[in-house]
């Protein structure tokens, strides 16, 4: 139980284009989803927290207009990297938690973004 | 404020040897503590969690961790390392603000 998927697993795009990453909870209702960014050989950096049906709460230093987060249903959240640039290249990981799961977050497999 | 310190960014053990990965936490409230494992180019997999029940927590793949309040520690152990245990391990504490605070991670290498 508590499986989270992400799509795509890898994406390469040109500078200036937008990329959408999907995060889905497959067997539970995710009332809260989290988006992280991970740099090579580094720990996870929380970008934002989203509650279903509400606007996302962004961490300090994360650009809201650049990283658009939507959590329109209890099983789906999306992260859109708008006007991507090479410095946005990174590993993006989502996680989710829901009723009955307590404080535990279950993580997706991650999305590797490369901006050329 | 909550924080997590993982001592040792790299740990190397022989196959069959004891694995000990250290984690110390700081929390102003009774903590919820977690250990996650990350294999290359993958997300994080929950190994085990402490949620104020038993202080010795058993997880998957033969791992366990002991919560020691007096030492503010939650070290991860496994009696006998396997080659497949080579990965990055993260300790985390729930912040009470709906967030997980992660340590910097420890890379475990297992050699024959």
Interface touch B42/A109, C-beta < 8 Å: yes
Look at residue A97 and tell me whether its pLDDT is greater than 80. Answer: yes
Task: Count CA within 13 A, CB hemisphere, residue A104.
Answer: 21
Band of pLDDT at residue A104, cut at 50, 70 and 90: confident
Query: In this structure, are residues A62 and A35 in contact, taking their beta carbons and an 8 Å threshold?
Result: no
What residue ranges in A15-105 does DSSP mark as E strands?
19-25, 32-38, 44-51, 57-58, 67-73, 76-81, 90-97
Average pLDDT, chain A: 93
Q: Are B41 and A110 a contacting pair at CB < 8 A?
A: yes
Calpha distance B105→A55 (Å, rounded): 31
Structure tokens at A6: 């992400």
B52 and chain A in contact, CB less than 8 A: no
Of B76, B104, B102, B103, residue with least CA distance to B13: B76
Which chain B residue has the Cα nearest residue A43? B104
For residue A106, which of A93, A97, A115 has the smallest C-alpha distance? A97
**Tens-place pLDDT, residues B64-111:** 999 999 999 999 999 999 999 999 999 999 877 678 899 999 999 999
Under an 8 A CB cutoff, do B90 and A102 touch?
no
Q: β-strand B19-26 against B10-14: which pairing, if any? A: unpaired
Average pLDDT over residues A57-65: 94
Does residue A101 carry a pLDDT above 90? Answer: no
Sequence-distant (≥ 6) Cβ neighbours of residue A52 within 8 angstroms = A30, A31, A32, A71, A72, A73, A74
pLDDT value of residue B97: 64
CB contact under 8 A, B99 and A34: yes
Give me the pLDDT at residue B99, please. 85
Question: Residue A100, by phi and psi: left (phi above 0), alpha (psi -120 to 50) or beta?
Answer: left
Cα Rg of chain B (Å, integer): 13
């Amino acid at each position: 139980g508590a499986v989270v998927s992400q799509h795509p697993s890898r994406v390469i795009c040109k500078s200036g284009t937008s990329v959408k990453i999907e995060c889905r909870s497959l067997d539970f209702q995710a009332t809260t989803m989290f988006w992280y960014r991970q740099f090579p050989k580094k720990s996870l950096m929380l970008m934002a927290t989203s509650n279903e049906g509400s606007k996302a709460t962004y961490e300090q230093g994360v650009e809201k207009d650049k990283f658009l987060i939507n959590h329109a249903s209890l099983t789906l959240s999306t992260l859109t990297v708008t006007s991507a640039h090479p410095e946005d290249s990174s590993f993006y990981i989502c996680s989710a938690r829901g009723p009955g799961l307590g404080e535990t977050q279950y993580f997706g497999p991650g999305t590797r973004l490369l901006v050329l | 404020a909550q924080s997590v310190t993982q001592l040792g960014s790299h740990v190397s053990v022989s196959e069959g040897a004891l694995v000990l990965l250290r984690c110390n936490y700081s929390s102003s409230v009774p903590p919820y503590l977690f250990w996650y494992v990350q294999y290359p180019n993958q997300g994080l997999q929950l190994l085990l969690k402490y949620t104020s029940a038993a202080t010795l927590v058993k997880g998957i793949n033969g791992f366990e961790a002991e919560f020691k309040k007096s030492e503010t520690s939650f070290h991860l152990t496994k009696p006998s390392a396997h080659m497949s245990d080579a990965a990055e391990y993260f300790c985390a504490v729930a912040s009470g603000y709906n967030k997980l605070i992660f340590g910097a991670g420890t890379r475990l290498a297992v050699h024959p």
